[in-house]
């Protein structure tokens, strides 16, 4: 116990903290500027100087650690003078342009000057000027206002890990500059904006459009983009979102955001939002009233059900919609349309991978706390760049590295390259051999523990020698051994798995191998999730084989429970997966499809074929906030309320259930309400008056969410395992699909790729599906689709950055600019699937892994040629 | 006094290893290796050696702290940044007697328990860089550096790292930042470099002159060494004298030689028989003294009694033709230029003070400017992150304290009479 005295008040402390923290804990305010609770100590501004008995020099409270018996004074004449003096120094060169500075009203300098500052100016000379050329589409810098507290730099370097900015020059010429020069070339997380105490780095999105004190409301909600589920504070004026900020203390993101969460909100207010229902008449979508649209949908769905039966109907749910929406959606499909043909784009990887892993380790095996990553002593990453897919999770991996943990990656991971990764880079499509090698090596080192016989039976026979890895993967023994050494010596490892694993050849077999690594290492698994409510949608039963709470449909007992709850009898047959629905559409057996908040024509591979298949369908309903590629094919389009316009819950990848709150008023209906209306029209009783009613039903019927309430979620306790009953233990045999190894190329050792180019999917930090297209800021940062190729490819084809190229595969071609990236695999052409008419999926064929039912995108051979 | 630090430097080839060996060089090394590291530190303690970089910190104490820290490896850094205006004493050793420094560093390294040394060299010393590198190579070739020094299994690797020309990089923690490849700005202390220094390892930083005393201390023993000069801070001292004296230069004299003796006996008095107006005794950061103080002893203990400091021992002598407002202005211009910008009072205060001084010197000073200057500098003094800012503030305070009438005259007459 440490006892100190501040201003005569005795304070007892458990552990040594700074004087500033000690004072704060006792309710004593010491003014500060450069110190910030999220950042490393600095001691630069000198505003927090205090008197400490027995130390002749004044001490900065933000850096001085308390010691037993310390006697501190913070409110003396001398200290008042010091504060006045420091603030005077800060003001002499400050432009004092508060009247048009957006920060005014929440500026720390302004507030401090009002409280402690000098009354008049004694500075007679001209103020310093900082050179211009600071133009950036997102981040507005006004360096005359900068007080060089370096909070932004410490944030960018020490927390975000982007190291994109620094103080340049010395002394009075110091100011903040991105290494890229005037314009930022950074991760655009905006976390520097959050910590700038003055108005010198700000967001252009809300520039000069409001003053902080004019905000009508602040609403805490969850980010609409990825599965991390960051808490956002949405600030609104006149029903327009003005700004999105994080809050320190929230569980997942604790005061941090990524570019999408912070700057991606403008889609809500987009002029392109759908405003009324549309009905297709003579091949044209025309505006219609809600009554017309709903009764038409009810009528047509009823007819098709009567004429072709329930199995001719399907539904696609949405990982962007709330649990409430998805619950009502699957209930509608099962109870009203009487079909289990219900699925989502989670099928493209997440659902299968999670199901596979949970079947081995029990439910919840992938539900691990994100901040826990930073406490791991090693993180093994495969199948995607976590810093782009789930950026805030990525920060935890960076923090792990900073704290001395080891980063082990399979393949080059761009966002982690500055974090001392130990990288194994297998030749194209030789990952399976490498994983077998890792499993073999770990088995030799650690021995099989004997606790999971089913898994052991599957991996016992695997025995891949180091030589084989050298031969097939092009990895040296030395590199491999070093990697294994680090991995095997770790005592608290984590494994991060990206979707590319599920979307590659032998996806289920690779998942088995990764599971084996997890088992041998006693690790924790993190399954990257690209959409905000991918997890929740599965929890809600939007799957052809599972009822809410992952209750297997084919188990009569489970079915019975829901039949009792819903007072109906349920279809017994497992439904069609999303890909099977596309096949059924192609062969004409699917007659109607209801698509809620999803754009399969763009978001499924071989998208042209998907489009053709959907055109075969008699009746398509699309419920969305924009008129998407899929919407254009619909017979009825129903406009839904969007994120921030409705209440509900999301479940993130940690299985944390969080509240989504309405922040903006807009006329219209939530997704669940539209479906409930249609159900009513079809004679079913879906009586919910608000989202909470739906949630109450979920908590009543789904054993996974038992007794959960909005109140409890509010408290932050709603995280797996909560009061509900997960399914534990292995329920089914482990099945894997391990297609024959791809043949070696002529050169022998170099994997199948030698001499050929393959199209691969890029997952950019700044985009997410098709939603981010409607967020102008994100489009501004990353405006168009590009093909990224290696230096070697560029050289051999004499391509320069910016050249327009034609990328073609068997099924189509696209023209777009090329970008050269040294770190890209020499046999890859990287292309994203975000931009209209330029999606990688339009060029990608797939086969389905029979176990995890995910599309394998490997082996899409592509050509690239210069157009101009 | 027999020369210790500048021994043989009148020999034009003194930097060569053979010339150094001819006058007894590298003879202390075997003797040191025959002692326990602890014994060496004990000897240094007896010698009373205090750091020559400016602060006068007892060398043995620093070494004891670092050698007691269990972390490894440890590092020995030689501070050869020599940036304090008026100072050019280390340069003499670096250019004329580099092997003395190398021998001193090997001994210190052995005593502290480190195998790695760096010489952080001032960016503006290109000649010294070449000379040092040549000397280091010779020392490696002769087995005085490397993995098996003198065949005794002692290891010590030494390299030169050149700064980029920032004064602040002479401050030990800024030096460490710079050595690590970051921008040179001071770090928070504690932790001190002896525990958390370069690459977060225990690090001893000593000035060139400090380390160069080691061979002699080992040769004659701490006891004998401690009899040279001032009893409280003994040893030979390099005084570098510039300004209006007949014979400016670097003088090796016993610590505690009076300013009068330095100026009048060794430097031949004031140039052209002019009158002495002021002396800055230890580099620009040390308080200026009027002539009536020149009987003070130039050491760490006696200078503070006269309101100044020994600093680096850089004596700047000014005669009656010098405008002290201008000197003060030039000093502030230096500090403004060299302020690293980390802390508010120094970053803003140096610039403000320079502007006021510029005004006064140009005859544009206003009533109250002198008091404003005193107020601004007192808002800096004791509030800055590192001593650079304090130095800047105290220059203004001391110039005004001793020579206020000259400032007032500038303001009153709206011109500088020395121009
Ligand atoms: C602004 C500033 C500049 C300094 N410059 C030097 C320098 O150029 N050379 C030097 O030896 N010490 C310099 N010092 C002192 C060092 O911080 C440190 O005290 C010294 O190198 C320790 O060595 P010593 O104990 O042998 O004196 C400087 C200190 C400050 C605050
Ligand atoms: S936006 Fe993020 S990455 Fe860019 S400079 Fe700011 S903190 Fe760094
Ligand atoms: S831009 Fe803002 S956060 Fe960065 S140093 Fe300047 S005032 Fe501080
Ligand atoms: S990490 Fe994901 S949830 Fe968090 S702000 Fe970014 S996109 Fe949103
Ligand atoms: S006093 Fe402050 S600004 Fe000046 S050099 Fe030291 S740390 Fe830098
Ligand atoms: S808040 Fe302590 S020095 Fe800035």
Write the pLDDT tens digit of every residue in B28-68: 999 999 999 999 999 999 999 999 999 999 999 999 999 99
Q: Does B333 touch chain A (CB under 8 A)?
A: no
Answer whether residue A147 is part of any domain. Answer: yes
Checking if the pLDDT of B191 tops 70, the result is yes
Is residue A854 within 8 A of residue A349, CB to CB? The reply is yes
Whether residue A695 is found in the same domain as residue A820: no
**Subunit contact A46:B344, Cβ cutoff 8 A:** yes
Facing residue for B342 by CB, picked from A44, A63, A88: A44
Residue B336 Cα to ligand 3 middle (Å): 21
Whose C-alpha lies nearest to ligand 3, atom 8?
A149
Q: Does B350 touch chain A (CB under 8 A)?
A: yes
Answer whether residue A728 is part of any domain. Answer: no
Whose C-alpha lies nearest to ligand 6, atom 1?
A32
Whether residue A481 is found in the same domain as residue A508: yes
Cβ partners under 8 Å of residue A400, min gap 6: A373, A374, A375, A376, A379, A407
Q: Is B168 in the pocket of ligand 1 (CB under 6 A)?
A: yes
**Side-by-side strand order, sheet with B75-80:** B146-149, B154-162, B116-121, B75-80, B203-207
Facing residue for A44 by CB, picked from B337, B343, B350: B343
pLDDT-flagged residues of chain A (< 50) = 729-730, 746-752
Whether residue A625 is found in the same domain as residue A676: yes
Q: Does A462 touch chain B (CB under 8 A)?
A: no
Residue B130 Cα to ligand 4 middle (Å): 54
Q: Which atom of ligand 4 is nearest to the CA of A225?
A: 7
What CATH class does B324-413 carry?
Answer: mainly alpha
Whether residue A639 is found in the same domain as residue A687: yes
**Subunit contact A47:B166, Cβ cutoff 8 A:** no
pLDDT at A743: 56
Distance, in angstroms, between A528 CA and closest chain B CA?
A: 35
Whether residue A311 is found in the same domain as residue A374: no
pLDDT at A733: 81
- Which chain B residues are Cβ-neighbours of A166 within 8 angstroms? 183
Tell me what the mean pLDDT of segment B104-121 comes to. Answer: 98
The strand pairing partners of B58, in sequence order, are B50
Whether residue A262 is found in the same domain as residue A283: no
Cβ partners under 8 Å of residue B373, min gap 6: B353, B356, B357, B396, B400
pTM, full prediction: 0.96
As a whole number of angstroms, the distance between CA A496 and CA A389 comes to: 12
Which ligand is the nearest neighbour of the Cα of A103? 3
CATH architecture of B236-319: Roll (3.10)
Calculate ∠ Cα A806-A808-A811, nearest 5°: 145
As a whole number of angstroms, the distance between CA A800 and CA A795 comes to: 8
Answer whether residue A742 is part of any domain. Answer: no
Q: Is A156 in the pocket of ligand 2 (CB under 6 A)?
A: yes
Whether residue A332 is found in the same domain as residue A456: no
Answer whether residue A100 is part of any domain. Answer: no
Whether the bond between A821 and the residue before it is cis, its omega within 30 degrees of 0, is: no
Q: Does A117 touch chain B (CB under 8 A)?
A: no
Whether residue A587 is found in the same domain as residue A670: yes
**Subunit contact A88:B379, Cβ cutoff 8 A:** yes
What is the phi/psi pair of residue A393, to 5°? -65, -40
Range(s) of chain B covered by CATH 1.20.1440.230:
324-413
**Residues of A numbered 425-444 whose beta carbons fall under 8 angstroms of chain B's beta carbons: which are they?**
none
As a whole number of angstroms, the distance between CA B306 and CA B287 comes to: 10
In a mutational test of the A interface, the residue from B180, B383, B385 whose CB has the highest number of chain A CBs within 10 Å is B383
Residue B316 Cα to ligand 1 middle (Å): 19
**A232-236: which pairs have CB atoms within 8 A and are 24 or more residues apart?**
A232/A257, A232/A261, A234/A265, A234/A644, A234/A663, A234/A664, A236/A663, A236/A664
Range(s) of chain B covered by CATH 3.40.50.11540:
17-225
Residue A9 Cα to ligand 6 middle (Å): 22
Whether residue A487 is found in the same domain as residue A379: yes
Range(s) of chain B covered by CATH 3.10.20.600:
236-319
Which ligand is the nearest neighbour of the Cα of A86? 6
Positive or negative, the CA dihedral A288, A292, A298, A302 is negative
Distance, in angstroms, between A821 CA and closest chain B CA?
A: 27
Is residue A499 within 8 A of residue A521, CB to CB? The reply is no
**Subunit contact B347:A172, Cβ cutoff 8 A:** yes
Answer whether residue A20 is part of any domain. Answer: yes
**Residues of A numbered 199-228 whose beta carbons fall under 8 angstroms of chain B's beta carbons: which are they?**
none
pLDDT at A727: 66
Q: Is B386 in the pocket of ligand 1 (CB under 6 A)?
A: yes
Burial B350-361 (b: 16+ CB within 10 A, else e): bbbbbbbbbbbb
Facing residue for B352 by CB, picked from A43, A44, A123: A123
Q: Which atom of ligand 5 is nearest to the CA of B350?
A: 4
pLDDT at A47: 98
How far CA B209 is from CA of A5, A398, B50, B94, B265, in Å, comes to 44, 44, 10, 9, 23
**Subunit contact A172:B355, Cβ cutoff 8 A:** no
- Which chain B residues are Cβ-neighbours of A19 within 8 angstroms? none
Whether residue A260 is found in the same domain as residue A330: no
Q: Among the residues of A309-430, which ranges form H helices?
A: 323-331, 350-361, 386-389, 391-402
Whether residue A819 is found in the same domain as residue A793: yes
Answer whether residue A161 is part of any domain. Answer: yes
- Tokens, residue A35: 């110190």
Burial (Cβ within 10 Å: 0-12, 13-18, ≥19) of residue A704? buried
Cβ partners under 8 Å of residue A453, min gap 6: none
Whether residue A288 is found in the same domain as residue A263: no
How far CA B252 is from CA of A369, B45, B118, B146, in Å, comes to 67, 22, 25, 31
How far CA A296 is from CA of A146, A301, A302, A634, B255, in Å, comes to 60, 8, 10, 13, 103
The strand pairing partners of B103, in sequence order, are none
Q: Does B397 touch chain A (CB under 8 A)?
A: no
- Which chain A residues are Cβ-neighbours of B166 within 8 angstroms? 170
Residue A150 Cα to ligand 3 middle (Å): 5
Q: Which atom of ligand 2 is nearest to the CA of A165?
A: 5
As a whole number of angstroms, the distance between CA B187 and CA B200 comes to: 12
Distance, in angstroms, between A66 CA and closest chain B CA?
A: 12
Q: Which atom of ligand 3 is nearest to the CA of A167?
A: 5
Tell me what the mean pLDDT of segment B281-297 comes to. Answer: 97
pLDDT at A211: 84
pLDDT at A731: 60
- Strands A592-596, A619-624: pairing is parallel
Burial (Cβ within 10 Å: 0-12, 13-18, ≥19) of residue B295? exposed
Is residue B302 within 8 A of residue B233, CB to CB? The reply is no
Whose C-alpha lies nearest to ligand 5, atom 2?
B343
Domain containing residue A498: CATH number: 3.40.228.10
Q: How many domains does chain A have?
A: 5
Answer whether residue A681 is part of any domain. Answer: yes
The domain of A452 spans 363-527
Nearest to A389 by CA among A368, A414, A410: A414
Q: Does A174 touch chain B (CB under 8 A)?
A: yes
Q: Does A167 touch chain B (CB under 8 A)?
A: yes
% of chain A beyond a pLDDT of 70: 98
Q: Does A126 touch chain B (CB under 8 A)?
A: no
What's the CATH code, domain B17-225? Answer: 3.40.50.11540
Nearest to A645 by CA among A657, A659, A658, A661: A661
Facing residue for B385 by CB, picked from A43, A47, A172: A43
Domain containing residue A842: CATH number: 2.40.40.20
In a mutational test of the B interface, the residue from A172, A173, A174, A176 whose CB has the highest number of chain B CBs within 10 Å is A172
Q: Which residue of A has its CA nearest to B386?
A: A44
The residue assigned the tokens 């060029």 is: A843
- List residues near ligand 6 (CB under 6 A): A 32-35, 43-48, 60, 62
Whose C-alpha lies nearest to ligand 5, atom 1?
B389
- Which chain A residues are Cβ-neighbours of B382 within 8 angstroms? 57-58
Answer whether residue A58 is part of any domain. Answer: yes
Is residue A379 within 8 A of residue A405, CB to CB? The reply is yes
């Amino acid at each position: 116990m440490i006892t100190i005295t501040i201003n005569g008040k005795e304070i007892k402390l458990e552990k040594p903290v700074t004087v500033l923290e000690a004072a704060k804990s006792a309710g004593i305010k010491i003014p500060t500027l450069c110190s910030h609770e999220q950042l490393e100590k600095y001691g630069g501004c000198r505003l927090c100087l205090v008197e400490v008995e027995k130390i002749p020099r004044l001490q900065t409270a933000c850096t001085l650690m308390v010691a037993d018996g310390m006697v501190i004074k913070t409110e003396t004449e001398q200290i008042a003078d010091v504060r006045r003096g420091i603030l005077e120094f800060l003001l002499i060169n400050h432009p004092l342009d508060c009247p048009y500075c957006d920060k005014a009203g929440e500026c720390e300098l302004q507030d401090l000057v009002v409280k402690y500052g000098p009354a008049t100016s004694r500075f007679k000379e001209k103020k310093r000027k900082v050179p211009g050329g600071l133009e950036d589409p997102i981040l507005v810098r006004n360096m005359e206002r900068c007080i060089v507290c370096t909070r932004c730099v410490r944030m960018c370097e020490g927390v975000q890990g982007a190291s994109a900015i620094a103080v340049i020059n010395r002394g009075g010429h110091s100011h903040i500059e991105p290494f890229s020069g005037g314009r930022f070339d950074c991760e655009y997380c905006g976390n520097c904006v959050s910590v700038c105490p003055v108005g010198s780095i700000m967001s252009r999105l809300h520039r000069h459009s409001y003053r902080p004190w004019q905000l009508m409301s602040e609403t805490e909600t969850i980010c609409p983009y990825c599965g991390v589920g960051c808490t956002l504070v949405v600030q609104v004026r006149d029903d327009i979102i003005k700004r999105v900020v994080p809050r320190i203390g929230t569980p997942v993101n604790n005061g941090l955001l990524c570019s999408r969460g912070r700057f991606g909100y403008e889609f809500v207010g987009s002029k392109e939002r759908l405003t009324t229902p549309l009905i297709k008449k003579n091949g044209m979508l025309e505006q219609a009233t809600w009554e017309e649209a709903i009764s038409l949908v009810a009528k047509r769905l009823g007819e098709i059900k009567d004429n072709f039966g329930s199995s001719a109907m399907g539904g696609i749910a949405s990982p962007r919609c709330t649990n409430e929406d998805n619950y009502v959606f699957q209930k509608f499909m099962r109870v009203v349309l009487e079909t289990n043909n219900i699925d989502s784009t989670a099928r493209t990887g997440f659902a299968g991978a999670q199901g596979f892993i949970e079947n081995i380790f029990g439910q919840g095996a992938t539900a691990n706390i994100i901040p826990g990553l930073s406490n791991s002593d090693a993180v093994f990453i495969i199948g995607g760049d976590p810093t782009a897919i789930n950026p805030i999770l990525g920060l935890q991996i960076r923090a792990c590295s900073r704290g001395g943990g080891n980063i082990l990656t399979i393949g080059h991971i761009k966002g982690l390259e500055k974090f001392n990764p130990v990288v194994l880079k297998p030749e194209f499509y030789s990952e399976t051999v490498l994983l077998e090698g890792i499993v073999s090596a770990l088995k030799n080192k650690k021995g099989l523990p004997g606790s999971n016989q089913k898994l052991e039976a599957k991996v016992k026979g695997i025995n891949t020698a180091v030589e084989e890895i050298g031969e097939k993967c092009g990895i040296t023994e030395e590199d491999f051994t070093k990697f294994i050494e680090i991995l095997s010596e770790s005592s608290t490892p984590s494994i991060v798995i990206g979707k590319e694993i599920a979307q590659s050849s032998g996806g289920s077999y690779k998942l088995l191998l990764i599971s084996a690594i997890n088992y041998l290492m006693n690790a924790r698994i993190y399954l990257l999730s690209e959409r905000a409510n991918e997890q929740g949608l599965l929890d809600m039963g939007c799957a052809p084989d599972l009822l809410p709470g992952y209750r297997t449909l084919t188990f009569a007992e489970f079915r019975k429970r829901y039949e009792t709850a819903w007072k109906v009898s349920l279809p017994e047959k497992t439904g069609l997966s999303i890909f099977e629905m596309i096949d059924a559409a192609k062969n004409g057996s699917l007659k109607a499809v209801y698509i809620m908040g999803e754009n399969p024509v763009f978001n499924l591979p071989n998208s042209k074929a998907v489009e053709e298949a959907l055109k075969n369908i008699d009746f398509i309903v699309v419920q969305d906030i924009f008129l998407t590629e899929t919407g254009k094919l619909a017979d009825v389009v129903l406009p839904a309320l969007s994120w921030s316009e409705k209440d509900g819950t999301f479940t993130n990848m940690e299985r944390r259930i969080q509240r989504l709150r309405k922040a903006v008023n807009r006329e219209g209906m939530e997704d669940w309400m539209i479906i409930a209306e249609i159900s009513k029209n079809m004679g079913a009783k879906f009586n919910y008056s608000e989202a909470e009613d739906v949630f109450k039903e979920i908590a009543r019927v789904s054993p996974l969410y038992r007794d959960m309430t909005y109140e409890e979620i509010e408290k932050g306790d709603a995280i797996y395992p909560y009061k509900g009953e997960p399914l534990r233990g292995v329920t089914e045999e482990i099945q894997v699909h391990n297609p024959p190894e791809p043949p070696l190329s002529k050169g022998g050792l170099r994997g199948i790729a030698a001499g050929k180019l393959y199209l691969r999917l890029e997952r950019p930090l700044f985009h997410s599906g098709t939603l981010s297209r409607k967020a102008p800021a994100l489009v501004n940062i990353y405006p168009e689709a590009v093909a990224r190729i290696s230096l070697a490819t560029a050289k051999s084809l004499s391509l320069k950055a910016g050249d327009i190229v034609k990328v073609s595969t068997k099924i189509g071609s696209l023209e777009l600019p090329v970008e050269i990236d040294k770190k890209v695999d020499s046999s890859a052409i990287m292309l994203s699937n975000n931009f209209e008419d330029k999606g990688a999926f339009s060029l990608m064929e797939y086969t389905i892994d029979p176990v995890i039912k995910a599309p394998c995108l490997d082996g899409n051979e592509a050509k690239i040629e210069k157009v101009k | 006094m027999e020369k210790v630090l500048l021994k043989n430097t009148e020999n034009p080839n003194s930097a060569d290893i053979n010339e150094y060996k001819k006058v007894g060089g590298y003879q202390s090394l075997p003797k040191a290796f025959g002692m326990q590291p602890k014994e060496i530190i004990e000897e240094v303690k007896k010698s009373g050696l205090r750091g020559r970089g400016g602060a006068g910190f007892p060398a043995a104490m620093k070494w004891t702290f670092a050698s007691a820290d269990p972390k490894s490896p440890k590092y020995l850094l030689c501070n050869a940044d020599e940036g304090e205006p008026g100072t050019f004493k280390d340069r003499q050793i670096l250019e004329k007697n580099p092997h003395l420094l190398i021998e001193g560093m090997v001994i210190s390294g052995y005593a502290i328990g480190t195998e790695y040394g760096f010489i952080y060299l001032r960016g503006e010393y290109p000649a010294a860089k070449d000379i040092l590198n040549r000397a280091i190579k010779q020392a490696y070739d002769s087995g005085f550096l490397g993995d098996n020094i003198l065949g005794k299994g002692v290891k010590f690797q030494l390299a030169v790292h050149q700064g980029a020309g920032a004064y602040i990089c002479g401050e030990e923690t800024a030096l460490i930042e710079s050595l690590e490849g970051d921008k040179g700005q001071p770090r928070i202390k504690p932790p001190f470099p002896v525990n958390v220094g370069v690459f977060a390892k225990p690090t001893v930083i000593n000035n060139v002159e400090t380390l160069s005393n080691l061979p002699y201390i080992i040769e004659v023993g701490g006891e004998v060494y401690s009899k040279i000069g001032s009893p409280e801070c003994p040893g030979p001292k390099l005084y570098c004298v510039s300004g209006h004296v007949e014979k400016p230069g670097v003088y090796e004299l016993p610590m505690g030689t009076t300013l009068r003796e330095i100026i009048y006996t060794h430097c031949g008095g004031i140039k052209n028989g002019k009158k002495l107006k002021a002396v800055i005794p230890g580099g620009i950061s040390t308080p200026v003294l009027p002539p009536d103080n020149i009987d003070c002893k130039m050491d760490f203990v006696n200078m503070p009694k006269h309101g100044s400091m020994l600093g680096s021992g850089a004596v700047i002598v000014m005669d009656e033709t010098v405008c002290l407002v201008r000197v003060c202005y030039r000093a502030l211009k230096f500090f403004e230029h060299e302020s690293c910008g980390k802390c508010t009072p120094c970053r803003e205060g140096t610039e403000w003070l320079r502007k006021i001084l510029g005004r006064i010197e140009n005859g544009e000073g206003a009533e109250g400017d002198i008091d404003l200057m005193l107020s601004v500098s007192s808002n800096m003094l004791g509030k800055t992150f590192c001593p650079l800012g304090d130095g800047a503030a105290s220059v203004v305070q001391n110039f005004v304290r001793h020579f206020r009438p000259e400032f007032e005259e500038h303001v009153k007459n709206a011109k500088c009479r020395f121009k």
